[in-house]
A = this chain, B = another copy of it.
Amino acid sequence: MRGATLLLEEGKENVSSSELAKFLGLNSAKIRKDISYFGKFGTRGVGYNTLKLIKQISKILKIDKQHKAVLVGVGNLGKAIMAYTGFAVYGFSIEAAFDSDTKKIGTKVNGIVVEDITKLESMRSEKIQMAILTVNCEQAQQVADSLVSNGVKGILNFSPCQIEVPRGVKVISIDIALDMARLPYYIPKI
């Protein structure tokens, strides 16, 4: 699936590939082909059952179940993410937060008590497989190593640096500044 993720208008029982294509700014054949890689979900002459399609895609992306995550680095960005409600849509919940700053440890952020980063192994009992990394570049690799050794299999990395992880662990990196840096390119006569 190279295609984009779907954002379906709710309330319609069926949706056609051309409607989806229009909405996403893509070719309808691409939509059909992408979906077809995972099976035959549609009905000829009708389209795709909206609810069924959402469920199928959720299953494929494995977001049909709840996922627990921990957050490491309770700075401004970390706090913003902890307060962000948008994760719930995809079944994510932040179960614990860690930081190395003694001033932050013990304080409550969004109902979660910030724990000492050296006590990361406390997350083990929860069988948490995902982590959000909002520490600075210097700490990122070390924290990632620690997360992996405590059972984390997926990391959403907000630090502006590359981190190395063993096979079987997935890192998705978001560098906000780098995304912003792409903007001037498109602006004529700056």
Interface residues contributed by chain A, number (CB under 8 Å): 49
Distance of A102 from chain B, by nearest CB (Å): 20
Q: How many copies does the complex hold?
A: 2
Task: Report yes or no: B61 in contact with A154, Cβ–Cβ below 8 A.
Answer: no
Closest 7 interchain pairs by CB?
A170-B186, A76-B80, A62-B184, A80-B80, A86-B177, A154-B183, A90-B181
How far is A7 from B161 in the complex, measured between Cα atoms in Å? Answer: 9
Task: Report yes or no: A153 in contact with B187, Cβ–Cβ below 8 A.
Answer: yes
Task: Report yes or no: B87 in contact with A180, Cβ–Cβ below 8 A.
Answer: yes
Task: Report yes or no: B87 in contact with A130, Cβ–Cβ below 8 A.
Answer: no
A112 within 8 A of B: no
